[in-house]
Amino acid sequence: MILFLKPLVSCTLFSWQKKIPNSELVVFEESYHYLFIDEPQKFIAEISAFVQRTFGA
């Protein structure tokens, strides 16, 4: 899972995602530095959903 802040999203990130098997790119539009502090609900939801889809746990 690739997590990034909106200002840092670029073509490079999309190319990274294509090269990493089973990866997903998630953009946090309201975050400025710490994703888990700035948008804790979204952070937990995205991580939990990714783990569930990937590992079924």
- pLDDT tens-digit map of 3-15: 666 666 666 777 7
Instruction: Name which of 21, 26, 16 is nearest 49 in CA terms.
Output: 26
Tell me what pLDDT residue 6 has. Answer: 64
Tell me what pLDDT residue 28 has. Answer: 84
Tell me what pLDDT residue 46 has. Answer: 95
**C-alpha span between 30 and 52 (Å, rounded):** 24
- pLDDT tens-digit map of 13-57: 777 788 888 888 888 888 878 889 999 999 999 999 999 998 986
